Amino acid sequence: MKKRILVLGAGFGGLELCTTLSETLGDAVDVTLIDKGDAFVFGYSKLDVMFGHTTLDRVRLPYSRFAKPGVRLLKETVVSVDPMGKRVVTDQGTHEADYLVLALGADYDFDATPGLADVNEFYTVEGAVRVAGILPAFAGGNIVVGVCGAPFKCPPAPSETVLMMHDYLVTRGIRNACKITLILPLETPVPPSPETSRALLAAFAERDITFVADREVRSIDAKRRIATIDDGREFPFDLFLGVPVNRAPRILEASGMTEDGYVPVKPKTLETRFPDVYAVGDCARQGTPKAGVFAEGAARAVARTLIARLRGEEAPVTHQGTGSCYLEFGAGRIGRVDVDFFSDPEGPTGTYHAPSVALRVDKDNFGSSRRARWFGL
């Protein structure tokens, strides 16, 4: 009988894992991929949608285009996971597996920040689309981009947002009528790379963007239009764009798999404490940032391990803890930071590549190569 691999979540991690398994093993193995959605959207596409650079239709990658030998993609919602039995219950039935991989991403906890649900966020597709509808009528005032807790997905994204906001307001001719403030629960915009952080801080200063470091938004009073941060300071706003508290989906907590909101894994093998159960990407605590490139790298590492195990070979310990993040600096210029979380025992390191138009081609290739590889588009 074929071995059954069950993958929960068809995001960065799940798509890459199943693609790699299919490329190597074809239909010699029985892979089931489950997702509650109809389509995948790159995280960074939300920023492009929000600022009107593209439309949701153009960046939605429908799961109906994901066709890989040996892989069944099912549209179902996972409601519980039994990690000991490797048994998963969905709204459609029960699935059992020989190997189980959790790639369910991070959810947003709106209840953790009183009042946040009454204002705008831009981390969901729906939120980004809503902001895209509001921005054209925005006439000026205080814009506060505020993060409600760490860790959060794509640490550079709020910094990119304020730089893109600056450009947007300049284009509309209302930049002088606006004040932009960024509230970030990090000491610097990109902690592993002081050089990248310096470049972003210089870009904020040049554009008169206020940066509030190492603080998080605690509550929102939507009526008075005030955001309060964790040291008690209040920030009046006319437009608030929030990043909600992130956490692994509650079903994983209910399944007894999480500690402090995430599924702990061995950093280099992505093994959970349950035999034959792995977790990759944003739902796991691996010691790397919550970013697509890291979810993808973790997925490749688990794929290599599973392939070796199925062939009766020794499982390699392969996750390098490295990845590259692109940074929108505005005006079509993109920077890049290559980060390495595991090599240096002193801590994470990063190499900065200054913004250029050439790096935009690099970023476009990053997106189009995944689009082609996963969806044949």
Ligand X SMILES: Cc1cc2nc3c(=O)[nH]c(=O)nc-3n(C[C@H](O)[C@H](O)[C@H](O)COP(=O)(O)OP(=O)(O)OC[C@H]3O[C@@H](n4cnc5c(N)ncnc54)[C@H](O)[C@@H]3O)c2cc1C
Binding part of the chain for ligand X, among 131-139, 167-175, 285-293, 306-314 by CB under 6 A, reads 285-293
**Contact region with ligand X (CB under 6 A), list: 40-48, 51-59, 210-218, 232-240:** 40-48
Using rule CB under 6 A, residue 97 touches ligand X: no
Asked if residue 157 binds ligand X (CB under 6 A), the reply is yes
Examine residue 49 and tell whether it contacts ligand X (CB under 6 A). no
Tokens 């590889």 -> residue: 373
Residue 127 binding ligand X, by CB under 6 A: no
Among 290, 300, 304, 353, binds ligand X (CB under 6 A): 290
- The residue among 36 and 333 lying less far from ligand X, judged by its C-beta, is 36
Is 21 near ligand X (CB under 6 A)?
A: no
Out of 71, 83, 100, 105, point to the residue binding ligand X (CB under 6 A): 105
CB of 190 to ligand X, least distance (A): 12
Report, in Å, the least distance between residue 333 CB and ligand X.
15
By the rule CB under 6 A, 153 interacts with ligand X: yes
Which of residues 64 and 77 has its CB atom nearest to ligand X in the complex? Answer: 77
Structure tokens at 191: 């902690």
130 touches ligand X by CB under 6 A: no
User: x/- contact string, 313-352, with ligand X (CB under 6 A)?
Assistant: ------------xx--------------------------
Asked if 281 interacts with ligand X (CB under 6 A), we say yes
Q: Does 83 bind ligand X (CB under 6 A)?
A: no
Looking at 3, 36, 225, 371, which residue binds ligand X (CB under 6 A)? 36
Q: Rule CB under 6 A: which residues touch ligand X?
A: 9-14, 34-37, 43-44, 46-47, 77-78, 103-105, 123, 153-154, 157, 249, 251, 281-282, 290-293, 295, 325-326
